[in-house]
Amino acid sequence: MTRVYGHFGELLQGRIGASGPVALVTLPCPMLWVDANMTPSRGFGLYQVQKAVPRDVLRRLLHRLTLPVQGLFTLNLSMPLGGGAGASTAALLSLALAAGADRDSGLEAAVLAAEGASDPLLRVRPERVLWASRHGAALADLPPLPRFEVLGGFWGQGQRTDPKDQDFPDISDLIRAWPGSDLAAMADLASRSARRTLALRGPRNDPTEALARHHGALGFCIAHTGAARGLIFAPHTVPHQARTDLRAAGFSRITQFGCGGL
């Protein structure tokens, strides 16, 4: 069995300049993952409860990686489709690894070719790269993030990533200001990125920022395409009542996790 971890939306996402590439800083999440298994067989099959990967896409991926298009594959996801948790990228990566792909043998490029966009989920520290999702490439290395905790869940309608979608706000200034160990500055920049995307793309009634203010969070983050929403706290400062209030506001799959640090 192979496991690939997803992410919980992004700390930043937008265009680099009015006509530049879509870039992001991902928020890795150890609570979200995809497991894949392959049983050797002369035939070819794919079993999945959530239809994350069409059979023909898996066929093309295996062919591109020069792997045999055979075997009985199973796929299990701990995150919803369209949640902004990297489900499709994680699913393709996990299936390819289960089939015997080498992590360093053009796997990221093959996944990009299969779906037109990708997340940096194979990186050891994916939050430390500025990632061009439509090009499947790191644009810059970033400094380590401070330790922080996120309490969040999935709110609103899911939305699958469209690789042709370029309708994102300019975040060039936020990228230039991206901090090192300053947690308050990081949370503020993540909140500003989220606000810009919500103002441009909606939905207008998103309750995440109000919940962050109510519970004294340092900021908030969203899946800029998808339903993941989170409140950003310093370690060990998440209020007990916050989980209940998120559920009352319509959040599902409430989760809490830590990120950052060396």
Q: Give me the pLDDT at residue 159, please.
A: 81
- Which run of H or E residues covers position 246? helix 240-248
Pick the closest to residue 44 from 17, 84, 74 (CA basis): 74
Q: How remote is the C-alpha of 30 from its chain's centroid?
A: 11
Give the pLDDT confidence of 76-130 residue by residue, as tens digits. 999 999 999 999 999 999 999 999 999 877 898 999 998 888 899 999 999 999 9
Q: Say whether domain 2-115 belongs to CATH 3.30.230.10.
A: yes
pLDDT average, residue stretch 8-22: 95
Amino acid at 92: L
Phi, psi of 230 (to 5 degrees): -145, 155
Domain ranges of the chain: 2-115, 143-259
Average pLDDT in the chain = 95
238, 151 in Cβ contact below 8 A? Answer: yes
Give the pLDDT confidence of 174-185 residue by residue, as tens digits. 999 999 889 999
Cα separation, 61 vs 96, whole angstroms: 8
Q: Are domains 2-115 and 143-259 of this chain identical in fold?
A: no
Q: How remote is the C-alpha of 259 from its chain's centroid?
A: 13
Q: Which CATH superfamily is domain 143-259 in?
A: GHMP kinase, C-terminal domain (3.30.70.890)
Q: Give me the pLDDT at residue 165, please.
A: 79
Give the pLDDT confidence of 88-102 residue by residue, as tens digits. 999 999 999 999 999
pLDDT average, residue stretch 25-40: 97
